Amino acid sequence: MPELPEVETIRLGLERWALDRTIRNVSVAHPRAVRRHLPGADDFRALLVGRAMTAAQRRGKYLWLPLDSGDALVVHLGMSGQLLVVPSGTAPERHLRVTLTFEDGGPDLRFVDQRTFGGLSVSAGGAALPSSIAHIARDPVDPAFDDEGFARNLRGKRTGLKRALLDQTLVSGIGAIYADEALWRCRLHWARPTETMTRPVTARLLASVREVLDEAIAVGGTSFDALYVNVNGRSGYFDRSLNVYGREGEPCPRCGSPIRRAKWMNRSAYWCPTCQRAPRHPHP
Ligand code: ZN
């Protein structure tokens, strides 16, 4: 599933290739891809044809493209959704769901999705912030992120630290991979009760989260899933620089202790038992 750095890579690609181009045609090859657009595929198409996307915006891992009409094209990448910029007329991809062509005759924008959990929709009047995204908190690399508010709300959560980092109403854009990497970096245990997080410790945590996300963005995101390809069809390669995630039994790059893995919320948590000491009262 794409996380913030992958989505940022896609956003940058869209910013470069898709803006200020008048949409000539929209073809929906599979109705499931526009199921979130409740008025249906014809309405979806009518709201896009003749319009141009004016920006590429992101909140956490949610993407939207404001249109010159004041509406917004909302992108749900789901598990396997890809946006491809390909020369117009290129043979359709196997799992092609939606194609946008442009008046300038330049490359198409294609939405390809093998598992069809993702899709596109148009949010009426959603250019500033689509209503479907409004409940998502800002992410820590957003210049408008409120560090003080985050520190306060984190303490009030009364849960485990990793669980709080994945709570999209508290902070967005941190998935399981980046949570484990950031916690390792600032030497905090995933089950640490959030009510024990003092302001200086929270500041350390945020600094680590930002470092991890910034580094991943700089190299174009992580890819564990061959299905994920960025807007220009290239995979990310940050996975080679992961310190704990997916490395159970391998030595901690800092102290050499074997990395451990625990079952956590139907998934896993990876940590170094030496660098990240377990809290006295863990809070899963
Ligand atoms: Zn260690």
CATH of residue 266's domain is 1.10.8.50
Question: Which of 3, 6, 8, 181 is an active site residue?
Answer: 3
CA of 32 to the centre of ligand 1 (A): 46
First to last CA, the chain: 23
Residue range 150-159: average pLDDT?
94
Chain centre distance of CA 240: 19
Q: Which amino acid is at 243?
A: N
Same domain, 13 and 114: yes
Residue 84 phi, psi dihedral angles, 5° rounding: -115, 140
Same domain, 124 and 152: no
Look at residue 149 and give its three-state secondary structure: helix
In a domain, 284, yes or no: no
CA of 127 to the centre of ligand 1 (A): 45
Q: What is residue 124's predicted lDDT score, i.e. its pLDDT? A: 95
Residues 6+ apart with CB under 8 A from 29: 92, 96, 97, 98, 99
Same domain, 207 and 234: yes
Inter-CA distances, 276 with 206, 216, 255, Å: 16, 22, 11
Alpha helices in 55-108, H assignment, sequence order: none
Same domain, 113 and 217: no
CA of 121 to the centre of ligand 1 (A): 45
Judge whether 267 counts as a catalytic residue: yes
Judge whether 130 counts as a catalytic residue: no
In a domain, 88, yes or no: yes
Chain centre distance of CA 30: 24
Task: Provide the 10 A C-beta neighbour count for residue 144.
Answer: 5
In a domain, 177, yes or no: yes
Inter-CA distances, 98 with 17, 19, 116, 218, 226, Å: 17, 17, 11, 29, 20
Whole-angstrom Cα distance, residue 143 to residue 165? 18
Q: Which of 76, 100, 129 is the last residue of a domain?
A: 129
Q: Is the pLDDT of residue 236 over 60?
A: no
Question: Which of 21, 61, 97, 157 is an active site residue?
Answer: 61
Domain range enclosing 188: 147-271
Question: Which of 32, 199, 267, 277 is an active site residue?
Answer: 267
pLDDT digits (tens, 9 = 90+) for 15-57: 888 999 999 999 999 999 999 999 999 999 999 999 999 999 9
Residue 227 pLDDT class (50, 70, 90 cuts): very low
Residue range 49-70: average pLDDT?
95
Same domain, 124 and 159: no
CA of 6 to the centre of ligand 1 (A): 27
In a domain, 152, yes or no: yes
Residue 239 pLDDT class (50, 70, 90 cuts): low
Q: What is residue 232's predicted lDDT score, i.e. its pLDDT? A: 46
CA of 273 to the centre of ligand 1 (A): 7
Task: Provide the 10 A C-beta neighbour count for residue 48.
Answer: 22
- Total domains present in the chain: 2
Judge whether 263 counts as a catalytic residue: no
Token pair recorded at residue 103: 């008046």
CA of 258 to the centre of ligand 1 (A): 8
Q: Is the pLDDT of residue 228 over 50?
A: no
CA of 254 to the centre of ligand 1 (A): 5
In a domain, 278, yes or no: no
Judge whether 3 counts as a catalytic residue: yes
**CATH number for the domain harbouring residue 96:** 3.20.190.10
Look-up of token digits 């905090």: 188
Q: Which of 129, 162, 179 is the last residue of a domain?
A: 129
Closest CA to 176 of 132, 140, 222: 222
Q: What is residue 235's predicted lDDT score, i.e. its pLDDT? A: 45
Residue 172 phi, psi dihedral angles, 5° rounding: -110, 165
pTM: 0.82
